[in-house]
Amino acid sequence: MSTISLNGKGNKQIALRVEPELEAGIKQALSQDGDASVSAWIKRIIRKELQSRGIEPKV
């Protein structure tokens, strides 16, 4: 497993492997939620989770 440093400037790319069953669920959620891409859906979910923990990312 590779590790990724999130320090520094600019957008980071993170490789993610998922099982086919999980991918099918993600695609279903995409269509239900109206997100344009898997990355947009994942970023929205991460932002929601951070907010629930009281962490406000700097934009």
Domain count, the chain: 1
Residue 27 lies in a domain: yes
Question: How confident is the model at residue 4, as a pLDDT?
Answer: 59
Residue 26 lies in a domain: yes
Residue 34 lies in a domain: yes
Question: How confident is the model at residue 24, as a pLDDT?
Answer: 95
Say which residues have a Cβ less than 8 Å from residue 42's Cβ, sequence separation at least 6.
16
Of 16, 57, 47, whose CA–CA distance to 26 is shortest? 16
Residue 8 lies in a domain: no
- Per-residue pLDDT of the chain (59 residues), as tens digits, is 556 566 767 888 889 899 999 999 999 999 999 999 999 999 999 999 999 999 987 76
Question: How confident is the model at residue 30, as a pLDDT?
Answer: 92
By residue range, what is the domain housing residue 24? 20-52
Residue 46 lies in a domain: yes
Residue 44 lies in a domain: yes
